[in-house]
Chain A
Amino acid sequence: MRPGKMIKEVLRSIIKKPATNLYPAEELAMPHNFRGKLIFHPEKCVGCKLCMKDCPTGAITINKVGEKQFQAVIDLGKCIYCAQCVDSCLKKALETTKNVELAQLDANKLKVTFSGESKTGIENKTP
């Protein structure tokens, strides 16, 4: 038994750099297969709606907007970032990104619509 057994390690820490991550002042690196915000490629979608079926929270909705044209509405507030939809999609129309900074003050803005033109999705406006 020795009281103050950690004292050596503790004193060594004084000269060491702190282990704290200084987020948000310094950016955090995400692992390469990180499951962040989803993006949707409308040109690849065939409208099978398997992603809708498998989504555990019902965060994704695929709407038909025209002949062989689909748009996806993803509710980032409901999404649990499990990426099951990415696995379920047979045509690889869905993809995860490393984007994690998705906080919004307005809940409506969490609903993101992906259609023809936009790659990153359009945030819904406050009604």
Chain B
Amino acid sequence: MHKPEPDKFKIPVGPQHPALKEPEGFSVALKGEKIMGLEIRLGYNHRGIEKACEERTYIQDLYLIERVCGICSHSHSTCFVQAVEEIAAVEVPKRALYIRTLIGELERVHSHLLWLGVAGHEIGFDTLLMYAWRDREIVMDLLALITGNRVNYGMNTIGGVRRDISKEQAEEVLKGINILEERTKYYIEIATQETTIIKRLSGVGIISHEDALKLDAVGPTARASGVNRDVRYNDPYAAYGEITFNVITDTHNDVYGRTLVRVKELMESYQIIRQCLKKIPDGPILTKVPRKIPIGEATSRYEAPRGEDVHYVKSNGSEKPERVKIRAPTLANIQAVKHMLKDRFLADMPIVIAAIDPCFSCTDRSVSLENPGDRNKEIMTWHALRTYSIEWYKKQGIDFTELNNNLKNKLERR
């Protein structure tokens, strides 16, 4: 017979487990129902996307990058396209930027509604799952109406977007948004009043403001801990600079707070979509970009529904990129999970993992470390890297010198 340790029980949650929709390994040490330790093992779904990008042209990469994530496919492709456009120094037409913003927000709506359903399922509230996903169909249909498909919209291309949005479509979108707004108000009511939901969510998976900063949490996970950080607001891309919206934060620090942030962000998204449709200028949707992208490199940031998504593209002047690096938001949040599950119950595990809205397959990248002695020149010290980044931003027109001095003074005064 199997003989476990006398007082500790180690159970595998994943790589195949009903709580996880994707393969990921969590080894949980239990004492009774209490979690004593957690080991996270990433990398079950490494697909070699970054390497594959290097072997394809920029246009082919668009569709590959879009498939990094099934839920936030527009986020990844926009992020990539922004980086390439920066290297090629292309002026993207205003109308295209607005359409990108619109699709991005519709995507956020569908992603957050999806999350709401998943969260309901993880706490055994299947009715919430069914209703949230039924209503999600409205936004899926809108996305299909505009882009042609429910997922992997194929909207972005280098220099603009591929499809225009007509008057009728805009009206349909507004109609759908109105229904969704009503429904979202209802879900806010449910989330804040239903006893069993509050019982299961509040006080679970706590991560304090300091820890959220220290562990580098991003997106709604960080915002629920009071970290006022949103790329859309702090470093506006696409048309966000011309749109007014609030960054939703919460101070609950727990899964309940994350739920509130997400449902309230839905309401913000509806406002953004309405503004987009109102302000959208006429004009072309595409600037022609040569197939060969000039030599250069760029990083691009995008606020995906799950948090900050970072793409780095390096071009060598050919039709194919030299290097593409993707940092999916889940990678930033996964470290926080371990922290959140400290001294919690096994029953909290699924919802705490789900609360960062994980997208494990998007996260998996492989890094091989070569012997540092061999290629000393390639490795930068922390200080050198910092100086380099300051110089780099200076070239972009952003000067950090003053900010750094302020910070230094502040630290010294302490």
Contact = CB atoms under 8 A, between A and B. Distances in A.
Contact of B195 (A2, A19, A34, A35): A2
A117 B61 CA distance: 35
Contacts, number: 70
B20 interface: no
B44 interface: no
A65 interface: no
A34 B64 CA distance: 20
Interface string B272-316: 000000000000000000000000000000000000000000000
Contacts of A125: none
* Most chain A C-beta atoms within 10 Å of own C-beta, residue among B60, B64, B144: B60
* Most chain A C-beta atoms within 10 Å of own C-beta, residue among B56, B134, B157, B194: B194
B153 to A, nearest CB: 10
Contacts of A82: 63, 66, 152, 154
Interface in B140-189: 141, 144-145, 147-149, 152, 154, 157, 162-163, 186, 189
A84 interface: yes
Contact of A9 (B60, B131, B193, B198): B131
A3 B190 CA distance: 10
Contact of A35 (B60, B61, B154): B154
B376 to A, nearest CB: 38
A19 B63 contact: no
Query: What is the predominant secondary structure among interface residues of chain A facing chain B?
Result: loop
A34 B196 CA distance: 42
Interface of B: 56-57, 59-64, 66-67, 127-128, 131, 134, 137, 141, 144-145, 147-149, 152, 154, 157, 162-163, 186, 189-190, 193-196, 198
Given A3-B194, A10-B127, 20 more contacts: A1-B193, A1-B195, A1-B198, A2-B193, A3-B195, A5-B190, A5-B193, A6-B127, A31-B141, A31-B144, A34-B144, A34-B149, A35-B148, A54-B57, A56-B63, A82-B154, A84-B62, A84-B63, A87-B157, A88-B59
